[in-house]
Structure 1
Amino acid sequence: MDITKKLLSLQEISKAQLSKILNLVPSKKNLILEPDLIKPLERVCGVKWLKGNGVEKIFKLESTSLESDTLSNFYMIYSDTRVFKKVVDQIRSQVNIENPIKDKYHIIVVPRHICTFENELEELGLLYSVVRIHSFQWMPLHLDTGLLSLEIPDIYSSLFVYQNLTYLPTLSKCLWHLSFVLGKPRLILAIGQCSNSLMKQYEEYCEVRGESDRLESDVGALIIMDRNIDYTSALLTPGNYAALLCEVYTVSAGVCEKKQEESIKFDEKYNPLIEKQPLHFSLDSTKDSIYCDIKNRYFTEVTSVLSNLTKELRTEKMNSKEMALDEIKHYVQTQLQTTKIKKKCITNHLLAAESIINLLGHRYENQKEIEQNIVRNNEKSTNLNFLEELLNIENDKYITLRLFCLLTHFQSLTESEIRSFWLKFLHQFGFKYGFAFQNLISTGFIPEPVQNTSSLNLQAKLKIPKFTSSNSHVNAKNLKQIPADPSKVNLKFPTCASYVFGGNYIPLITQIAGMLLNSIPIEEIRTKLEALGTLSIRNEKGYPLQNRTVLIYVLGGVTYAEMAACNLLETLTGAQIIILSDNVITGNDLMKGILDYPK
């Protein structure tokens, strides 16, 4: 079976797992969904399938409880303590503790429930007698050609901000399950502490619980990488259409949706807001041929393509007016429906492009130039001035903090420069974010304070922290991720993966996959990557690659810019690259993880 068909079949495994839980109660039941779960669940199963498994009615989880009826209630939520408490409060308001109805209440937690959930139910006298709790982790969702996502939120903040490894067994078990479908790769490369832990857990699953008995895998190599090993690919402003779409709109489970709502003209500080056009479409190449054509194009080329498609539609409309009666009948029967769908798709993408230009166009070129300076470690004072300008003019905490993080990642800032920015940031957005300074240290954006032990140094005696610089610029140059001359990178017909960032930078996963596909000696790869973090390579006579299909697993989220870069590598090498992650993200999502309190 073709590997793409196998990836599409993962949905059936998820359905079987969910069916087993739902059919614990053979009678009719209600399903109450946490709103954020609706879009991912639609990727697993439809309403018709749920009805076939005994679901009578589907509700959205609200702040108030449902009116009590005789049907069993199945709540489905993410593993979030606050949402869990809301569900428990709703159940307690409905249940008769003296005479509870058996199998009336069930809570399905995605991807898994934690021990504190069971402890709380037990303390309240609800566990088993009133409420049963279940874990459900669907198989990776096939969002687009070569793109798999687990759609689990907060993995980045959990693993890299708060060093909470609760999700790690879930992520490794997912890989173990996937290996039964695709087979176990002979070459595995893991870079980063979490990735190495995941690989060890995966190998323990294979050893203790068994592994696929297939002699040959559909995948030649598996690359596992922590998000914090290549922050740059998430922090830089992307240039391809799909990535810019995510910068402007909310995309959940591969669906871009913005409903028409009451216009809010000003933000909380009375700055005028630019409205986004309402739209709804799926970022799936198999369902939208126009998206397939433009998703990886540099944005300046996208507007040109959409303009030409609009002209073609106009020409087709003019020609239809001159048709004879028989020709009109044939046109209606064979082409009219296709034309309507095409028109709807073009309209959606034109509206999206308009919103991208309105929201990002005024600063895009300037920011791209500043980011080029940062990546090349040039003109620090100019970069700091632009950062301060962004802080004062944009009034957007995420894009401001994102540029600051990129700056600290590549250029050596003094303690005074760091604290000066942070004080201005708190004055602008509120001192409630004071805790996030420690988060910036734990994520590596601000280096750990280094104490000078010199007895003659007053700073050491006062224990004032001194910050050190990182080697991100040096590492990127050694791995040839920074092109010598960005102006020579062809953005219209790209041959260099750096085009996704306007010629500024090549994503690390693309470079690693390229080294494997080009059969660079394994020891040379090891030498180049060891400087980035903890590295492990398991080679069971699988290198050089006989099978030119590479699976890349990014912990902490992957971007559409990285996917576009890998798609170009596929085209240039004739290989196949499949990307798997816990979520599809932007740099703003990383900033949200830093600025949000732990759940």
Structure 2
Amino acid sequence: MDLMKKLSSLQEISKAQLSKILCINPNRKHLILEPRLIRPLERVCGVQWLKSFGVDKIFKLEATTPNFATNAVFYMIYSEIKTFKRVIDQIRSQVDIENPTKNKFHVIVVPRAICIFEEELEQLGLLYTVINLHSFQWMPVHLDVGVLSLELPDVFGSLYIHQNATNLPTLSKILWQLCFVVGKSKFILALGQYSVAILQQYEQLCDDRGETDKIDCDFGAVIVIDRNVDYTSALLTPGTYSALLNEVYTCRAGICENKEEITETLDEKCNPVTSKRVVSFSLDSVQDSVYADIKNRYFTEVTSVLSHLTKQLKSETVSSKEMALDEIKHYVQTKLQATKTRKKFITNHLLAAESIINILGHRYENQKHVEMNIMKDTDKTGSLSFLDELLVTENNEYVTLRLFCLLAITQKLSESEVKNFWHKYLQQFGFEKGFGFFNLVKAGIITEPVQGSGTLNLQNKIKLPKFTSSDFYVNTKNLKQVPADPDKVNLKYPTCASYVYGGAYIPLITQVAGMILNSIPVEDIRSKLEPLGALSVRNDKGYPLQTRSVLIYVVGGVTYAEIAACNLLETLTGARICILSDQVVTGNDLSGKK
């Protein structure tokens, strides 16, 4: 079976797992979904499928509880204590503790129920007598050709900010389960603290619970890499259409949707609010041929492509008016529906492109220029001046914070520079944002205050940054991530993966995949990657690769810009590259994570 068909069929395994839970109660049932789960679940199974397993009605989890009468009730939530307690309170308000109905209330936790959930139910005397607890982790959702997502929203925050490793067993188990579908790769590279831990847990699962009996693997290599090893790829402003869509619309589960435009013209600071146009479409190349054509194009080329497609539609409409009766009949039977669908696709993308221009266009070129200077390690004073300008002109808190984070991990910021920015930032966006400083410290993005300081006292002496100027630029030079002459990078017909950032930077995952596909000696790869963090390589006589295909597993979120860069590498090398992550993210998801 073709690899893409295998990946597309992963949802059938997920359905089988969910059906076992739903069939525990064969009667008619209600399903109450946490709102964040609605889109991912739609990608796993449809409403008709749920109805075939007895789901009568589907509700969104809200403050008020519907009247469920005698029907069985299945809640589905993410593994979050606050949401879990809310569900328990709703159930307790409906149940007769003295005479509970058995097998009525079920709570399905994605990806798994943690031990504190069971302890809470045991203390309340509800476990199994009133409430049945289930764990459910769907297989990776196939969002687009070669793009897989676990749709787990809290992995980055729990791992890199709170240093909570609760998700690691789930992440390693997914890799183990995937091997039963595509086979076990003979060459695996893990880069970063958590990626190395996932690889170790994956190998333990293989020893304890068995391995696949598939002799061949569809992937010649598997690369597991931590998000914090390459923050730069997420923080830089992207240039490709799919990445900019995610910046403006915040797509989730591969769906770009905005149901209504904002009617206000000014925000609370009397700054103009630019509305986003109403759109609704899937970021899936198979379903949307227009998206397939433009998703990885640099944005300046997208509008001209859409304009050309619009002209084609107009000419087709004109020619249909001149058809004879038999020709019109044939046209209606064979082409009309396809034309209507294509028109809908083009309209959606035109509206989305218009929103991108309206929201980002006023600062895009200036910001790209500053980011280019940062990557070239020039004009630090100009970058800081632009940062100050953004603080007073932009009403988006993430815009300035991302640029500040980019400066912090690349160029050495002094104590006064950090203090001045953070003081201005809190004045602009509110002192309740003060927690953000400590989160950025925990994530390793900015420097850490001296130990023993109980308050946010930036006048204290600070330690040397985790990423000093010399470290970052030495590493990017060794890995050839910054082109010598960015102005010569062809954005229209790219041959360098840095085009996704306008020629400023090549994502790390692309360079690592490129070294493996080009059969660079393993020791050379080690020497280049060891300065970036913990590294582990497993080579069971699988290198150089016997199959020119690579699975890249990014722990903590991947961006559409990185995906586009890997798609270009595919084209240039003739290889097959698939991307797997817990979620498709933007720099906003990292710099502003609570």
TM-score of the pair, normalised by structure 1: 0.96
d(CA) in 2 for partners of 1:257, 1:131: 35
What letter is aligned with 2:438?
Answer: Q
Q: Which residue of 1 aligns with 2:528?
A: 528
Mapped contact 2:30–2:68 kept (Cα < 8 A): no
Superimposed CA distance per residue, residues 48-92 of structure 1 (whole angstroms, 9 cap, x where no aligned partner): 111111111111111111113100100001111121111111111
Superimposed CA distance per residue, residues 262-289 of structure 1 (whole angstroms, 9 cap, x where no aligned partner): 6233323232210000010000000000
d(CA) in 2 for partners of 1:475, 1:47: 49
d(CA) in 1 for partners of 2:433, 2:62: 28
Shift of 1:208: 0.7
Q: Which runs of 5+ in 2 are unaligned?
A: 452-458
SS at match of 1:251: coil
SS at match of 2:165: coil
What letter is aligned with 1:465?
Answer: I
d(CA) in 1 for partners of 2:89, 2:343: 48
What letter is aligned with 1:137?
Answer: Q
Q: Which residue of 2 aligns with 1:283?
A: 283
Q: Which residue of 2 aligns with 1:251?
A: 251
d(CA) in 1 for partners of 2:260, 2:431: 34
Superimposed CA distance per residue, residues 3-45 of structure 1 (whole angstroms, 9 cap, x where no aligned partner): 1111111111000000000000011110011111111001111
Which stretch of the first structure deviates more once superposed, 405-414 or 329-338? 329-338
d(CA) in 2 for partners of 1:545, 1:226: 23
Q: Which residue of 1 aligns with 2:309?
A: 309
d(CA) in 2 for partners of 1:532, 1:196: 13
Q: Which residue of 2 aligns with 1:192?
A: 192
Q: Which residue of 2 aligns with 1:95?
A: 95
Shift of 1:318: 1.3
Q: Which residue of 2 aligns with 1:330?
A: 330
Shift of 1:261: 5.0
Q: Which residue of 2 aligns with 1:413?
A: 413
Shift of 1:242: 0.3
Q: Which residue of 2 aligns with 1:347?
A: 347
What letter is aligned with 2:576?
Answer: Q
Match of 1:465 among 462, 466, 471: 462
Does residue 106 of structure 1 match 2:106? yes
Matches within 5 A, 1:558-597: 558-593=558-593, 596=594
d(CA) in 2 for partners of 1:133, 1:184: 32
**RMSD of the alignment, in Å?**
1.2
Q: Which residue of 1 aligns with 2:161?
A: 161
Mapped contact 2:143–2:253 kept (Cα < 8 A): yes
Mapped contact 1:449–1:467 kept (Cα < 8 A): no
Q: Which residue of 1 aligns with 2:70?
A: 70
d(CA) in 2 for partners of 1:299, 1:59: 39
Q: Which residue of 2 aligns with 1:266?
A: 266
Which stretch of the first structure deviates more once superposed, 57-66 or 222-231? 57-66
What letter is aligned with 1:432?
Answer: E
What letter is aligned with 1:588?
Answer: N
d(CA) in 1 for partners of 2:464, 2:273: 37
d(CA) in 2 for partners of 1:262, 1:532: 43
Mapped contact 1:29–1:71 kept (Cα < 8 A): yes
What letter is aligned with 1:183?
Answer: G
SS at match of 1:530: helix
SS at match of 2:592: helix
Q: Which runs of 5+ in 1 are unaligned?
A: 452-461
Matches within 5 A, 1:17-36: 17-36=17-36
Q: Which residue of 1 aligns with 2:474?
A: 474
Q: Which residue of 1 aligns with 2:177?
A: 177
Superimposed CA distance per residue, residues 392-431 of structure 1 (whole angstroms, 9 cap, x where no aligned partner): 1112111111110001111111011001101111111111
Shift of 1:204: 0.2
Shift of 1:165: 0.5
What letter is aligned with 1:409?
Answer: I
d(CA) in 1 for partners of 2:472, 2:268: 37
Matches within 5 A, 1:444-463: 444-449=444-449
Mapped contact 2:29–2:54 kept (Cα < 8 A): yes
Q: How many positions carry a matched residue from both structures? A: 584
Mapped contact 1:33–1:76 kept (Cα < 8 A): yes
d(CA) in 2 for partners of 1:291, 1:220: 29
Shift of 1:117: 1.3
Mapped contact 1:415–1:467 kept (Cα < 8 A): no
d(CA) in 2 for partners of 1:285, 1:379: 41
d(CA) in 2 for partners of 1:466, 1:584: 33
Does residue 48 of structure 1 match 2:48? yes
d(CA) in 2 for partners of 1:65, 1:586: 35
SS at match of 1:188: strand
Mapped contact 1:415–1:466 kept (Cα < 8 A): no
Mapped contact 1:240–1:561 kept (Cα < 8 A): yes
Matches within 5 A, 1:399-548: 399-449=399-449, 464-468=461-465, 469-470=468-469, 471-548=471-548
Q: Which residue of 1 aligns with 2:394?
A: 394
Q: Percent identity?
A: 66
Does residue 228 of structure 1 match 2:225? no
d(CA) in 2 for partners of 1:435, 1:463: 18
d(CA) in 2 for partners of 1:527, 1:317: 60
SS at match of 1:167: helix
What letter is aligned with 2:278?
Answer: P
SS at match of 2:583: coil
d(CA) in 2 for partners of 1:481, 1:70: 62
Q: Which residue of 1 aligns with 2:140?
A: 140
Shift of 1:450: 6.5
Q: Which residue of 2 aligns with 1:202?
A: 202
Does residue 85 of structure 1 match 2:85? yes
What letter is aligned with 1:139?
Answer: M
Which stretch of the first structure deviates more once superposed, 387-396 or 265-274? 265-274
Mapped contact 2:410–2:473 kept (Cα < 8 A): yes
What letter is aligned with 1:166?
Answer: T
Shift of 1:441: 1.3
d(CA) in 2 for partners of 1:533, 1:466: 19
Shift of 1:465: 2.7
d(CA) in 2 for partners of 1:555, 1:313: 43
Mapped contact 1:450–1:467 kept (Cα < 8 A): no
SS at match of 1:58: strand
Shift of 1:181: 0.6
Does residue 376 of structure 1 match 2:376? yes
Mapped contact 1:414–1:467 kept (Cα < 8 A): no
What letter is aligned with 1:213?
Answer: D
SS at match of 2:32: strand
d(CA) in 1 for partners of 2:271, 2:403: 21
Q: Which residue of 2 aligns with 1:455?
A: none
Mapped contact 1:152–1:583 kept (Cα < 8 A): yes
